[in-house]
């Protein structure tokens, strides 16, 4: 693993995680409106 690769990969996977939880928050909001 190159020295410069680590932060980029970490940022990308952090974005994936945040995106996943954003979907869940949207799901929560949608269920609130049922």
Which positions lie near other proteins, rule CB under 8 A? 1, 6, 9-10, 12-13, 16-17, 20-21, 23-25, 27-28, 31-32, 34
Q: What's the full length of the chain, in residues?
A: 34
Q: At its nearest, how many Å lie between other proteins and the CB of residue 2? A: 12
CA 29 to chain centre: 17
Round to whole Å and give the CA distance between 6 and 1: 7
Per-residue tokens: 31 = 């269920």
Q: At its nearest, how many Å lie between other proteins and the CB of residue 31? A: 4
Q: At its nearest, how many Å lie between other proteins and the CB of residue 24? A: 5
């Amino acid at each position: 693993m190159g020295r410069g690769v680590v932060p980029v990969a970490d940022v990308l996977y952090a974005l994936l995680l945040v995106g996943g939880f954003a979907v869940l928050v949207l799901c929560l909001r949608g269920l609130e409106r049922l």
